[in-house]
Each structure stands twice: as C-alpha cells, then as structure tokens.
Amino acid sequence: MAERDAAEVCIGVLALQGAFREHLACLRKLPRVHAVEVRTKEQLAGVDGLIIPGGESTTMALIAERWGLIPELRSFAAGGSPVWGTCAGLIFLADRATGQKEGGQALLGGLDCLVQRNFFGAQVDSFETQLPAPEPLSALRVSGAAAPAPGADSFRALFIRAPAVLEAGASVEVLAEYRLSPTEAEAQGRQSVAVAVRSKQLLATAFHPELTDDLRWHLLFVEMVRERLRGSSSLRKRGPDSAPAAPERAGSGTRPADLPVVGPSDAY
C-alpha cells in the first residue's frame, strides 16, 4: 500500500463512556489519521468515520438519547459513512439483540444480525485467545510507528462479557468465528458463533482490538473510510481545517497518561 498517497482521514470515537481513549491511542499510531472524541452532533458532523467503543451499551444508549444523538448517529450511518462497533458497539449496530435490559434500549441498527448480549456469561468466563486472521486482515501491512503483529495469520482477541452474533443475514460477511468448547457447544446447541462481521460500510467485532498492540483492525477500518471517500469526495462534509479539536485538557490539566496494553502473560 502506498501510504504517501493515502488520503488524510478524520476518525471520530464516540466518547460517551467506555474504552474510547484506547481506540484513539491506536488510531493515532496510524499514518495520516486524525482521531477525535465525539460527544455532540457538531463533533459528529466533522468526521469521516466513527468508532463506537466497548463500554456498557445501556449506559451509552441512555446518554446518547439524552442529548438527541441517536437520530444523528442513525443518519450518519444511513448516509453511508463507515461505522465500526466493538463489543457494546456491535450491539448498537445490530438490527436485533437479545438479553436486553427490561424495556429494551435504543439501538442504531443497520447490520442485519441477531446479537446476544453477554453471550459468554459473567466476568469469570471472560477470556482471551488467538483467532485466525481473515483474508482482508492478513492482506494488510502495518508500517510506520505501528508495531508489527505477533503473527500475520492470527490475531489476539479479548472477549470481556462479550456479545456474539447468533444469526447473520445474507448481506453480512462473517470475518471471524469462534469455535465453542464442547461444554459451551452443548449448552448453546451450536458449534460456533460469528465474532467479527462486515456489511457494506459497517464493521463490528465482539472482541477488543484496542486492548492489543495489533493495529490491523484499525487499519482495516481506516481503509474502509478511505474507500468511501474515494467513491464520494463530493459528499465530504467538512473542509480540511474544520475538524473539531477534542476538549482534552481543562481544569487542572492533570489527566494522566493512558493505560498500556496488558500482554497475554502479564501480571503484577
């Protein structure tokens, strides 16, 4: 990939709650990517693509509703702008979800999937594993400041009270599956579940690439955003200088640095 020719893109990360700073840190390691926090309609209008991070989907939905963001997010995605949801973000994007809180919750939809919240159970059942890298991922080459992936043919996946895709429509491309253990398979009555899916401009993963030092999922999404910009440069809503600055430092300005990536065998 000729990075010198790659278009400059502005990626927003929905910063209502959750692991949004981890996504920003990953994006900022990629060349020609400008990454900003999105909390308001105005900030959303200035970005080319949006990541909905991991966190509590009920919390994010309630805060988004309170400030009228849900219809704005819906029209952002419906207008063809790429959106990537990780974990809670996957639940946001799915057309159908089970295991909702009483009374349900506002969802964006757009991804023809049935998702089950907390598919793998409580926190004691949360886990990490290596999964085979799908072709679109293994074809990518990360350079620049980005650390090389540990193995090009697999990727590290952390599942934290994670959801899973139970059914995917015909328009949905399954990028990664997780094979259930014999006990899980018996309890669920199936051998595997989809954990990464893509449909046109929507990408969704049940795991957390932002908690690893493998940047390929972020690059894959950035390339989806570039693809979209190439196809519709006239639709671009913002000028080169109008990207909103994230309000990162205020008050006493003492917000400490972010957490590092915790390795598979790290413990203190």
Considering the complex, what minimum distance in angstroms separates the CB of residue 35 from another protein? 17
Q: CB neighbours (10 Å) of residue 61?
A: 23
Q: Return d(Cα 205, Cα 164) in angstroms, integer.
A: 9
Restricted to residues 174-213, the positions that interact with another protein (CB under 8 A) are 177-179, 181, 192, 208, 211
Q: How many residues lie near another protein (CB under 8 A)?
A: 68
State the catalytic residue, choosing from 10, 87, 113, 218: 87
**Binders in 73-132 for another protein, by CB under 8 A:** 87-88, 99-103, 117-118, 121-132
Length of the chain in terms of residues written:
268
Question: 239: closest CA among 51, 77, 48?
Answer: 48
The reply to whether 138 sits near another protein by the rule CB under 8 A is: no
Phi, psi of 87 (to 5 degrees): 55, -100
Distance between CA atoms of residues 80 and 78, nearest Å: 5
Q: Which of 66, 190, 236, 237 binds another protein (CB under 8 A)?
A: 66
Alpha helices in the chain (DSSP H): 20-27, 41-45, 57-66, 69-78, 88-93, 135-138, 182-188, 216-231
**Residue 137 vs 224, nearer CB to another protein:** 137
Binding site for another protein (CB under 8 A): 15-22, 39, 54-56, 58-59, 62-63, 66, 87-88, 99-103, 117-118, 121-132, 154, 158-161, 177-179, 181, 192, 208, 211, 247, 250-252, 254-260, 262-268
Residues forming the active site: 87, 208, 210
